[in-house]
Amino acid sequence: MATHSITAALAVVVVLAGGASAQFTSSTTVVEVYATVTDASGRPVRGLTQADFEVIEDGAPQTVTNFAAGDFPLHVALTIDRSFSVAGPSLEATKRAVRGFLSALRPTDESVILGIGSEVTIVADASVPREQQAAAVQALDAWGTTRLHDAIIQAIDATDAARGRRAVIILSDGDDRYSEAPAGAVLTRARHANVLIYPVALSKTRPALFAELSSVTGGRSFHVGDLNKLDATLTTIASELREQYLLGYSPSRPFVSGRDEWRSIIVRVKKPGLTIRARDGYYVK
C-alpha cells in the first residue's frame, strides 16, 4: 500500500497514489485531498469550514475527519520549455514570469527548475538558493527539441515524494517531440501521484493533454495567447496555491492491499455559486 505522511499538524497516516514508502505517525489511515474553491470571477474563496464540504468515494459519502485551510508548505517543480520552438519572445517571457513566481514563494517553500529540450535537465534543484535559481533561469537559452512527456513525468517524480502540497507547473507550447513516453503514460503517472498539475500552453491552441492533466490532479490549465499576460497567469497560480483546503477522511470501505485498485473521489462545496477543483481519485496499492 503506497502511503505518504500528511502535514505534521494533522499527524495521521495518509494513503495516496504514489511510490513513497510508508510513514506512520498514528494508527489511523486517511486519504488527503487538496481542494481549490473559486467564485464566479475565478478568485480563491476563503473562510469555508469543514461543514461546507462533502466527499464521495466510489459513490459512497465519506466523513471528513481532518480539515485545514490556508497556506501549506509547498514543493513545486517549474518545468520550462527551452526548445527551439519557443526561442525568442516566448522563452524570454517565460523566464521573466518564472523569476517573478520564484520571488513570490515563501521561505519555507521548496522549488525545483527543469528544462525541456532534447534532454530533460535539472536547471536548479531544491538545495539551490532562490536567488541562484532565478539566475539559472535567466541564463537559459533555446536548445533542442521538446521532450515534453518525459519532462512532465520527471517533474512529477521530483515532487511526489515530498511532504506537504506538491505541484508541477508546465510552461510549453505543448508540442512534444521525441519523448520516450506517450501521452497515456503521462496521464497514468499523474493518476498514481498526489501532485497538482498546472499546465500553461504558450501556443495558439491548448493541447488536450494539458486539460486532462489538470482535471485528474485537481490543478488548472491555462492557455496564454498573449505573452504580456503570462506574468499575471503565474501570479494567479501562486495565489491559488496559497488559498487551498485540505480534507482528510478514513474510507468507509477497507483497503485490500495488492490489488492496485482505483477509487474515484468527488469533492463538493455546498455553498451555491462556487466552483471546486480536486483530484478525481487515487490508487490503493
Q: Provide the residue count of the chain.
A: 285
Of 101-115, 156-170, 252-266, the range with the lowest mean pLDDT is 252-266
CB atoms within 10 A of CB 261: 14
C-alpha cell at 90: 516566448
Residue 131's Cβ-count burial label (10 Å; 0-12, 13-18, 19+) is exposed
Of 25-29, 85-89, 147-151, 213-217, the range with the lowest mean pLDDT is 25-29
**Chain position carrying cell 497560480:** 237
Q: To the nearest whole percent, how much of the chain has pLDDT over 70?
A: 90
CATH 3.40.50.1820 describes domain 74-241: no
Residue 134's Cβ-count burial label (10 Å; 0-12, 13-18, 19+) is buried
C-alpha dist (Å) from residue 216 to 23, 113, 195:
25, 23, 10
Instruction: Find the largest Cα–Cα distance for the chain.
Output: 55
The residue that leads in pLDDT, 17 or 167, is 167
Residue 176 DSSP SS3: coil
* pLDDT band with cut points at 50, 70 and 90 for residue 12: very low
Of 95-104, 175-184, 199-208, 251-260, the range with the lowest mean pLDDT is 251-260
Over the chain, what is the mean pLDDT? 88
- Which amino acid is present at 73? P
- Which amino acid is present at 199? P
Over residues 220-240, the pLDDT tens digits come to 999 999 999 999 999 999 999
Whether the pLDDT of residue 190 is over 60: the answer is yes
Q: What is the pLDDT of residue 29?
A: 81
Sign of the Cα torsion 205, 208, 209, 212 reads positive
Whether the pLDDT of residue 57 is over 80: the answer is yes
Q: What is the pLDDT of residue 25?
A: 26
252-276: average pLDDT = 91
Residue 242's Cβ-count burial label (10 Å; 0-12, 13-18, 19+) is middle
> Could you give the residue range(s) of every CATH 3.40.50.410 domain in the chain?
74-241
First to last CA, the chain: 4
C-alpha cell at 112: 525545483
Of 25-29, 84-88, 90-94, 134-138, the range with the lowest mean pLDDT is 25-29
Over residues 74-127, the pLDDT tens digits come to 999 999 999 999 999 999 999 999 999 999 999 999 999 999 999 999 999 999
Q: Which residues contact 248 (CB under 8 A, 6 or more apart)?
A: 6, 10, 12, 14, 30, 31, 32, 33, 64, 65, 66, 67
C-alpha dist (Å) from residue 214 to 14, 100, 200, 217, 239:
22, 22, 10, 5, 17
CA–CA gap between residue 70 and residue 200 (Å, rounded) = 24
Q: What is the pLDDT of residue 256?
A: 80
207-211: average pLDDT = 95
The residue that leads in pLDDT, 272 or 11, is 272
277 sits in which H/E element: strand 275-278
